Chains A and B, each alone.
Chain A
Amino acid sequence: MPSKVRVTLFVTCLVEQVMPEIGIATAQLFARLGIQFAVPKNLTCCGQPFFNSGFLPEALKLAKKTIAALEKSEIVVLPSGSCTAMIRKEYPKLLADEPKWTARAVALAERTLELSEFLAKHDLLSPRPLGGNVTYHDSCHMCRGLGLRAEPRQVLAKAGMGVTEMQESDRCCGFGGLFSMKMPEVASAMRTEKLEQAKDTGAPIMVTADPGCLLHLRLQPDANRSFWVRHLAEVLEEVSR
């Protein structure tokens, strides 16, 4: 990938405020790969939680704010499947009634990539020998929203991670944004199922590309700390040291 291309890293609100270690891992990974990147100001939230709960005026305002902050970038990368899906798939529809904004949304959508998609597309990782065993959770936005099933597995394999597939790797973990707050017992039951299926693979780590899933999975009471859930960026960064 040409060294003159500048990447904009949008860590997303959950990472910014709750799990900065994911953003830090992404930044360190980029630095090690020699990727020039910028972290823009004027970004808070892509608006997805508001969109998902039916608060459209709020979602619209945040969409416009986000587009304005990002549209000068050449490539925008997010360590989050769900926020990538919001920008790529929902922004153009959300702004369909305002043609000027629709065009801006479409233009941004074309330049917005999820992390593993970005790394796979530009073939940025150097191959490493097999060094570990993980299982991978296909978050809903990654697999059904964006169609990105192969890319995260590709980059994990490149990084020397053997992936042992769990049963129903693409079954929802129960986060669903605000769903886990609105129906906590159902969300918790869904989480238990997911963790059991992951543990059954025998892999010590479950990897996911979505901070939301990560947050929800880590909140399991009695979580056995010998089985851990990690973000894709964290695993890749560690391996790159």
Chain B
Amino acid sequence: MNQSKVQILSRLSSMNPISPVLAPWVSRRDFPDRKAQFKQALEKAKGECRLVADLAEATEVVAQLLAAAGAREVVVQQNDLLDSIDWHGLVPGITLHQAGNTVDDWRKYCADADAGISSAVALLAETGSLVLYSGAGNGRLTTLLPPLHIALVPESHLMVDLFELVDKLPTPLPANIVIVSGPSKTADIEQTMVVGVHGPLRLVVIVIEGH
């Protein structure tokens, strides 16, 4: 065994009182309208939330957002939901790269992209958060480098809070999980809030109701 490890472990006290087994925290939190709570919490953190009736409407919203942002290059994650959208028909003239298909210059595409589009494993109502897992077709940089992050998420992925999420973590965990609770921000200069630092300047979550 590593010498430093041995030294450190030996320095730890072995004369500790036996603590009783602690019952885990049970969050009894819930909200009469989880969607409304999610929207409120996200907007409080300067994120944007759109509620749409179906995937078609969601797709329209994405098209509008991309057009309004003047987006020319876009990076997209891959999963069943996102793969069912006709991306190339969406905004004519747009250059699109998909996470699973273009690994080689993936980093450059994300760095140059005007928008990154993802889904989410879960939404957390309490904190207005989006939960993202890395994996096949799901890069980290898609939702990190571009200035605009758009997420399309079925309503059925909505959970109450972090405590519910940790009960449903997969085994094994993906290499990276990010819980995103708004666009990036800082108040490091004279305590003045500025939205948009290193991560996206804008976060739009489109919740597909009834999905």
Direct A–B contact in the complex, CB atoms closer than 8 angstroms: no
Partner-B contacts on A (CB < 8 A): none
